[in-house]
Structure 1
Amino acid sequence: MRSLLPLSGVELRRHKDPEYPVEDSKFEPYAHQQDIRELFQNSNEFLAVNDSPTGGGKTISWLAPVIECEDHALAVYPTNALIHDQYNQIREELDESFPKRGSDVAVLPITADMLRTRYATKYPDTRTNGERLRALLRTYVYQRGDPVLVLTNPDILVMMRRHIYGRTGNPGSRVRQLNEFETIVVDEFHRAGRKEQNTLLFSLDEMYDLPNFQCALSKIVLLSATPTTRLEHHFEEAMSAPYRRVTSKRETTEERSFNETPTDGWGAVMPPVDLDVRSAATFDTASELLGEDWDDTESFARKAGRTVFILDGIHEVDEVYTHLSNTFDGRTVVRIDGFHRGNLEEKLDDFDILVSNSAVEVGIDFTVDRLVFSAPDRASFVQRLGRLRTKSEPQSARCYASTNVAASLSEIECDGRVSREQLIETLEDAYHDPREFESFDWRYSAAEAYHHIERRARDANSERAEEIREKGWERILRHFGGGDPPLTQSDVKAHADVINNAVERTLQWYRGGSLQALVYDRTPGTSDPIKTYDLFYLLRHGHVEFFSRTGFDEVVPNEHTDDVSHLAPYVTGYCTYDGTIETNDDGYGRSVRLKATSETYGWLRADDGIDDETRKPRELDGIGIDVEPDGADRITSIEHLRDEMREGLDVLCYAVKNHPRRVKNQYNLGKFLFLYPLTVGDEQWCAALGIDALYLHCAVQEAQNAVDLESLGIDL
């Protein structure tokens, strides 16, 4: 299926504002930038959502008033790559836009890797990341009088708030400096899943509600796409801070479409785009690009200027990059992905053709003339299309989406160009998010919050503990208790009991746990040879060899010993990586199958007649695994991984009796909720692991509840 969708550009009105704090007389802010500054000037407390378009200056919208107010601020970004990119951008903005005030601002990028390396050198007497983080913030928050701007990821923020960096029962080991930040900014908030959004909002609301002498947070800024109805209700009803969507009053007067050139006094933030929409299955765009569409692909990439390909899987990146490199001898073809991030600035400066995946979806600023992208979900569609920005003349793009999405886009009626608002409305109806289960809130986010509150209470004296529990329960009801019948503490405890220690080891983290391998990347030119990566991707597509921990230490060069020691406690296996394997004629790599252990048998066969609806998620100590070559290279060293997975695994699991494909179709789960075949004797089952286990359980339960209501004659 193929259709051409001409999209309009987007322009924002500029305003002459000599009072705006950017130290450039020619700077004319947009309305959303003025609105955020007005909130900082006139409101002591707020939760603001800025959903202005990509490329519309969201960074300046919060940075300018933070500099003007001389606040301590913490900015949260979804990826470490974006932290590094924004650090460079913010330092440049401070030098160019705030030359007088900016020099006084300390900008601290903080990731786990930086705590382990750069800041370990700065504070040699510290032993853990928590100690280094406390020492770093103590230096810049308590021992300097100037404003501090911390750039970090949501995991570190949640770990600081939940005292995971400290020791239970030892309040002195907590990162208390977090309480000194008046402003917290969350970038790309819409990219978070339901679990992540719930975790972050609950933590921010808790911090905001503390007395000022305990926590200074009073201003929360979310940089996001337009909030859904659910999120708008959450902001208004669950969060204590007064909610303000800063763009709501200017949608027709301050932002509008343009077809050819922007209007005088307006700034183009998104160009008109001639969008060629085609259909392809998720993780199968490379087959279309290099197969039936190859002549179009080659012609598209040969045009003058820079062409970017954004795909879903690393194996797709590898296929397309290799093919284009062999085809275009006279042009610079580069790749950027989880295994190829070295020489990033050089690649972005020099490329003619860039092949990547989600690694360049957000942040990482670069210019592009033409774009080819896959769109597995609505957020990726909008985000990847948004890489075409700021130019006023029409640009070309080609999108590969599912057949249903492509069909929906082909049905848009237009006389001239289609507005971005109309595109987004169509995408909202066309895409289905397999992780948007309402029951997740009261089943599992409430249990996660309850565990956190109990941990806080255990660390407090008896009087303070009672207050923590009382206020904590009120907050749980605001955030997660809106159902009928009302949520009770017995309900929350019951669901916490379902997953037992997983709340402690998995769910309390921002993203939750997943199975990772510790990788020694031996591909040429790699800049960070020791890393962790998704275990199942490596099993399906990696040219890998597994080792015992002792054998891995013998293979890895001595200069990486500290990196291995630091990461080893968080992984399931150890392997070398030498690139990706060749896929078979159908585009598949190896086939991965889980095998039941005695523990699994005991769980699944515990009672006669147990079914999918009554079975509950469970944390398994171990699980078996088989990997079939399926036309690809055999992993002869798989026994080393089996040893690691046999016991002490502690993985959250939920199993359903049937083939993964049939279960996905039955519950409309999509391809990004991963199910693995599970062999139980001679029966075919499937299993979801980690947070996906909880989402699958919600899908089964909601489907069963819908059936029960229908049987009672209730119209759904």
Structure 2
Amino acid sequence: MRAALPLAGVELRRHDDSTYPVETPDFEPYAHQQDLRELFRSADEFLAVNDSPTGGGKTMSWLAPIVERGEHALAVYPTNALIHDQYDQLTEELEESFPDVGASVEVLPVTAETLRTQYAAEYPEAETNGERLQRLLRTYVYQRHGPVLVLTNPDILVMMRRHIYGWSGDPGSRIRQLNEFETVVVDEFHRAGRKEQNTLLFALDEMYDLPEYQCALSKVVLLSATPTTRLEHRFEEAMSAPYHRVTGRRETVEERPFGETPTNGWSAVMPPVDLDVRSASTFDTASELLDADWEDTEAFADQPGRTVFILDGIHEVDEVYTRLSGALDERTVVRIDGFHRGDAEEKLDDFDVLVSNSAVEVGIDFSVDRLVFSAPDRASFVQRLGRLRTESEPQSARCYVPSTVAASLAEIEHDGRVPRVHLVETLEDAYHNPREFESFDWRYSAAEAYHHVERRARDANSERAEDIRERGWTRILRHFGGGDPPLTLSDVEAHADVIDSAVERTLQWYRGGSLQALVYDREPGADEPIKTYDLFYLLRYGDVEFFSRAGFDEVVPNEYAGDVSHLAPYVTGYCTYDGTIETNDDGYGRSVRLQAISEIYGWLRGDGADEGTRKPRELDGIGIDVDPDGADRITSIDHLRDGMDGDLDVLCYALKGNPSEVKNRYDLGTFLFLYPLALGDEQWCVALGLDALYLHCAVQESQNAVDLESLGIDL
């Protein structure tokens, strides 16, 4: 299916405001920048959401008032790559836009990597990342004058709040300097899943509610797409801080669509786009680009200017990059993905054609003339289309979406260019998100929060513990107890047994855990030879060889021994990587399936035999097998099996039926991963980690719907 969709550009009104704290004389702020600055000046406490368009200056909206007030602030970004990109942009912005006071602001990028390398050199006596972080913040928060701006990721924020980062030998010790930050800014909040949103909002609300002498946080700023109705309700009813949407007065007055050229006194933040809509299955866009659409693909990329391809899987990036590199002799074709992250700044400066995946869809700034992208969900569609920005001339783009979404977009009626707001409304209805189960909130987020509250209470004296439990339960009810019937403590305890141990190991982080392998990347020019990566991707598509830990140490050069030692506690297996294997005609690599060990037989044949009452559980081990594929057979798989046979601690949920059958039964979509599991002569499938909890919610909600229908209740 194909359709042509002419999209309008987006323009914002500029304002002559001599009081705005940017020191460059010709700067004219947008209304959302003025409004957020006024909120900082007039309100002592707030939760603010800025959903102005991509490219519309959301960063300046919070940076200017922070610099003006001289406060400590913590900025949270979804990826480490974005942290480093924003570090460069913010330090440059401070120098150019605030030449008089910007030099007094210290900007600190805090990731596991900077703690292990940059700050390890600065604090050689510290033995762990937790110690380094504590010493770093002590130095810059307590021992120097001037505001501090810390850039970090949600995992580190949650780990600090849950006291997981601490001194060696005392993992429960607190990084108390976190409590000195008056403002927390969360970028790209809409990109977070339900679990991540719940975890982050609960943590921020708890910090905000603490007495000021315990925690200074009083202002939370979320930079996001337009909040859903559910999130608006959450901001208003669950969060203690007063809620403000700073773009509330923008429609038609401060933001509006434009056709070919922006209005005088307004600035284009998104260009008009001639969008070519085509259909492709998720993870199969490369097949369309390189087969039926190859002539269009080559001609599109060979035009003057810069063309960007944003795809879903690394194997797709590999296929498209390889083909275009061979076809476009006179063009500079580069790739950026999880295995090719090095020299990104140089690549972004020099490319004619860039082939990438989600590694470049958020935040990283570069110019684009034409765009080809796949869009497996609504957020990805809006985010990737937003790479075309801050231009006023019409630009060209081609998108590949599921056939049902393509059909919805083809039905948009238009006489001239379609406003972006109309596009977003259509996408809301066209896409289905398999991870938006309402019961996840009270079933698992409440249990996760309860575990955190109990841990805090156990670390306190008896009088303080009672107050922590009382306040904690009130907060749990505000955030997760809005259903009918009301949430009770017994409801939470009924699910706490599922994740108590999992929270300690795999769900303690913001995103939850996944099975990772430690990789020695032996590709020529590998920019990051030692890294962790998703185990199942490597099994399906990687040219890999697995080793025992001792064998891996022998293969890896001594110069990387420190990297291996640091990352080894967080992985399941160890392998070398020499690129990707060739896929079959349908774009598939190897077939991965899990094997039942005795623990699984006992679970699914015993107490877990009843699908209606079976719960996810943490397994100590699981078997694995990979279908051989000629020369691509993994002969070293036994080394991986040894690592997965015990002390694996993987959260698991199993259902009878093959993965396709179960996905269709519960309408799960593409991004909830299920793996085949053979149990005797029966075909089962398994979800792991966070997906196990989502799948359990899907089953329970389906069964509850059937029960209500049997009672004659209209759904």
For the superposition of Structure 1 and Structure 2, which TM-score range results when normalised by the shorter chain?
A: over 0.9
Q: 1:85-137 CA distances to partner (integer Å, 9 max, x unpaired)?
A: 00000001001000001000000000001101110010000000000000000
Is it true that 1:623 corresponds to 2:638 in the alignment? no
The alpha carbon displacement at 1:498 in A equals: 2.4
What are the ranges of 5 or more consecutive residues in structure 2 without an aligned counterpart? none
| 3-state SS of paired residue (2:506) | helix
- Look up the match of 2:84: 84
Q: Distance in 1 between matches of 2:446 and 2:502?
A: 14
Q: Distance in 2 between matches of 1:196 and 1:510?
A: 6
Q: Distance in 1 between matches of 2:539 and 2:58?
A: 40
| 3-state SS of paired residue (1:507) | coil
The alpha carbon displacement at 1:607 in A equals: 4.5
The alpha carbon displacement at 1:632 in A equals: 6.5
- Look up the match of 1:637: 636
- Look up the match of 1:103: 103
- Look up the match of 2:714: 715
- Look up the match of 2:397: 397
Q: Is the 8 A contact 2:238 2:478 kept in 1?
A: yes
The alpha carbon displacement at 1:302 in A equals: 1.1
The alpha carbon displacement at 1:616 in A equals: 0.5
Matches within 5 A, 1:505-584: 505-584=505-584
Matches within 5 A, 1:301-340: 301-340=301-340
Decide which moves more: 268-277 or 161-170. Answer: 161-170
The alpha carbon displacement at 1:168 in A equals: 11
Q: 1:547-596 CA distances to partner (integer Å, 9 max, x unpaired)?
A: 00000000000010011001001000000001110001111000000010
Q: Is the 8 A contact 1:452 1:508 kept in 2?
A: no
- Look up the match of 1:702: 701
Matches within 5 A, 1:253-292: 253-292=253-292
Q: Is the 8 A contact 1:589 1:629 kept in 2?
A: no
Q: Is the 8 A contact 1:168 1:459 kept in 2?
A: no
- Look up the match of 1:365: 365
| 3-state SS of paired residue (1:267) | strand
Q: 1:347-406 CA distances to partner (integer Å, 9 max, x unpaired)?
A: 000000000000001011100100000000000000000000011010000000000000
Q: Distance in 1 between matches of 2:394 and 2:172?
A: 58
Is it true that 1:468 corresponds to 2:483 in the alignment? no
| 3-state SS of paired residue (1:109) | strand
Q: Is the 8 A contact 2:130 2:167 kept in 1?
A: no
Q: Distance in 2 between matches of 1:549 and 1:419?
A: 56
Q: Is the 8 A contact 2:5 2:418 kept in 1?
A: yes
- What is the alpha-carbon root mean square deviation over aligned residues? 1.1
Q: Is the 8 A contact 1:582 1:632 kept in 2?
A: no
Q: Distance in 2 between matches of 1:284 and 1:606?
A: 40
- Look up the match of 1:247: 247
Q: Distance in 2 between matches of 1:183 and 1:342?
A: 32
Q: 1:258-285 CA distances to partner (integer Å, 9 max, x unpaired)?
A: 0000000001000000000000000000
Matches within 5 A, 1:379-390: 379-390=379-390
Q: Distance in 1 between matches of 2:11 and 2:270?
A: 7
- Look up the match of 1:614: 613
What are the ranges of 5 or more consecutive residues in structure 1 without an aligned counterpart? none
The alpha carbon displacement at 1:172 in A equals: 8.6
| 3-state SS of paired residue (2:399) | strand
Q: Distance in 2 between matches of 1:138 and 1:440?
A: 38
Is it true that 1:416 corresponds to 2:416 in the alignment? yes
- Look up the match of 1:454: 454
Q: How many residues align?
A: 715
* 4+ residue runs over 6 A deviation: none
Q: Distance in 1 between matches of 2:111 and 2:580?
A: 28
- Look up the match of 2:593: 593
Q: Is the 8 A contact 1:183 1:220 kept in 2?
A: yes
Amino acid aligned to 1:611: D
Q: Is the 8 A contact 2:128 2:167 kept in 1?
A: no
| 3-state SS of paired residue (1:309) | strand
Q: Distance in 1 between matches of 2:271 and 2:477?
A: 45
Q: Distance in 2 between matches of 1:613 and 1:423?
A: 40
Amino acid aligned to 2:366: F
- Look up the match of 2:491: 491
- Look up the match of 1:195: 195
Q: Distance in 1 between matches of 2:233 and 2:195?
A: 17
| 3-state SS of paired residue (1:173) | coil
Q: Is the 8 A contact 2:333 2:351 kept in 1?
A: yes
- Look up the match of 1:682: 681
The alpha carbon displacement at 1:526 in A equals: 1.4
Q: Is the 8 A contact 1:589 1:631 kept in 2?
A: no
Relative distance call for 1:359 and 1:171 in structure 2 (3 A) is closer
The alpha carbon displacement at 1:613 in A equals: 2.1
Q: Distance in 2 between matches of 1:473 and 1:631?
A: 57
Relative distance call for 1:171 and 1:349 in structure 2 (3 A) is closer
TM-score normalised by structure 2 residue count: 0.99
Matches within 5 A, 1:647-662: 647-662=646-661
Q: Distance in 2 between matches of 1:249 and 1:273?
A: 26
- Look up the match of 2:122: 122
Amino acid aligned to 1:347: K
Amino acid aligned to 2:206: E
Q: Distance in 2 between matches of 1:578 and 1:396?
A: 36
Q: 1:197-237 CA distances to partner (integer Å, 9 max, x unpaired)?
A: 00000000000000101000000000000000000000000
Q: Is the 8 A contact 1:547 1:637 kept in 2?
A: yes
Q: Distance in 2 between matches of 1:629 and 1:422?
A: 48
Relative distance call for 1:247 and 1:37 in structure 2 (3 A) is same
Is it true that 1:57 corresponds to 2:84 in the alignment? no
Q: Is the 8 A contact 1:589 1:632 kept in 2?
A: no
Q: Distance in 2 between matches of 1:523 and 1:469?
A: 53
Q: Distance in 2 between matches of 1:611 and 1:172?
A: 39
Q: Distance in 1 between matches of 2:140 and 2:641?
A: 46
Q: Distance in 2 between matches of 1:9 and 1:525?
A: 40
- Look up the match of 2:183: 183
TM-score normalised by structure 1 residue count: 0.99
Matches within 5 A, 1:206-245: 206-245=206-245
Amino acid aligned to 2:289: L
Q: Distance in 2 between matches of 1:570 and 1:356?
A: 27
Amino acid aligned to 1:703: S
Amino acid aligned to 1:384: R
Q: Distance in 1 between matches of 2:712 and 2:290?
A: 52
